[in-house]
Structure 1
Amino acid sequence: MLVSEKQLTSEQSRVVAVTVREEIARRRMSRQQLADEARISISTLEKALSGRRPFTLATTIRLEEALGVALRKAEAKSIGPVVIEAGVAPDELGAYARRSVKWIEGTYLTLRPSFGEPGAIYAYRTDIAWDDGQSSLVFREGERLDSDFSQFGSVAVPNQSGHVYLVTNRHGQYRLITVSRPTITGEMHGILTTLLAGRGSHLTPIAAPIAFIPMHAIKDAAFGRIAADHVSHAVYRTVLKRTVDEPFAMFLPGRD
Structure 2
Amino acid sequence: MPTPDKQLSAEQSRQIADTIREEIARRRISRQSLAELAKLSLSTLEKVLGGRRPFTLATTVRLEQALGVSLRKTPDAPAPAAPVNGDIAPDGLGAYSRRAVAWIEGAYVTIRPSFGDKDAIFAYRTEIVWSDAASSLVFHEGERQDALYTQFGEVAVPNQSGHIYLVTNRNGQHRLITVARVAISGEMYGIITTLLAGRGSMLTPIAAPIAYVPIKMVANPSFGRISSDNVNYALYSERLRRTIDEPFAMFLPG
TM-score tier, shorter chain, comes to 0.5 to 0.7
State how far apart, in whole Å, the 2-side matches of 1:86 and 1:125 are.
29
Quote the Cα distance in structure 2 between the aligned partners of 1:86 and 1:179. 26
Please say if residues 85 and 135 of structure 2, whose CA atoms lie closer than 8 Å, have aligned partners that are also in contact.
no
Q: Secondary structure at the match of 2:110?
A: strand
Aligned residue for 1:228? 228
User: Is residue 94 from structure 1 mapped to residue 98 from structure 2 by the alignment?
Assistant: no
Structure-2 separation of matches of 1:250 and 1:203: 23
One-letter amino acid matched to 1:123: A
1:12-161 alignment, distance < 5 Å:
87-161=87-161
- Within a 5 Å distance, the mapping from 1:169-188 to structure 2 comes to 169-188=169-188
**Conserved 8 A contact 1:139-1:155:** yes
CA contact (8 A) 1:153 1:166 kept: yes
Aligned partner of 1:193 in structure 2 is 193
Superposition deviation, residue 205 in structure 1: 0.2
The match for 2:215 is 215
Gaps of 5+ in 1: 1-83
Q: Which letter does structure 2 place at the counterpart of 1:244?
A: I
Contact 1:86–1:98 (8 Å) recurs in 2: no
The corresponding residue for 2:53 is none
Please state whether the residue corresponding to 2:138 is helix, strand or coil: strand
- Distance in 2, matches of 1:245 and 1:183, equals 18
Partner Cα distance (2:143, 2:86) in 1:
29
- Kindly report structure 1 stretches of 4+ aligned residues shifted beyond 6 Å: none
User: What SS class does the counterpart of residue 244 from structure 1 fall into?
Assistant: helix
Distance 1:230 1:218 in 2: 13
CA distance in 1, matches of 2:92, 2:210: 24
Unaligned runs of 5+ in 2: 1-83
Q: Which letter maps to 2:186?
A: G
1:85 shift after superposition: 11
TM-score, normalised on structure 1?
0.65
Aligned to 1:160, the other structure's residue is in SS state: coil
Q: Is the 8 A contact 1:192 1:210 kept in 2?
A: yes
Which amino acid counterpart does residue 154 of structure 1 have in structure 2?
A: E
CA deviation after TM superposition for structure 1 residue 219, in Å: 0.3
- Aligned-residue RMSD, C-alpha: 1.6
Deviation at 1:228, TM superposition (A): 1.4
Say which structure is richer in helix. Answer: 1
- Given the two structures, how large is their TM-score scaled by the length of structure 2? 0.66
Letter of the 1:105 counterpart:
E
Cα contact 2:87–2:135 (8 A) shared by 1: yes
**Whole-angstrom CA distance in 2 between matches of 1:208 and 1:229:** 22
Report the AA paired with residue 124 of structure 2: Y
The code of the aligned residue for 1:88 comes to: I
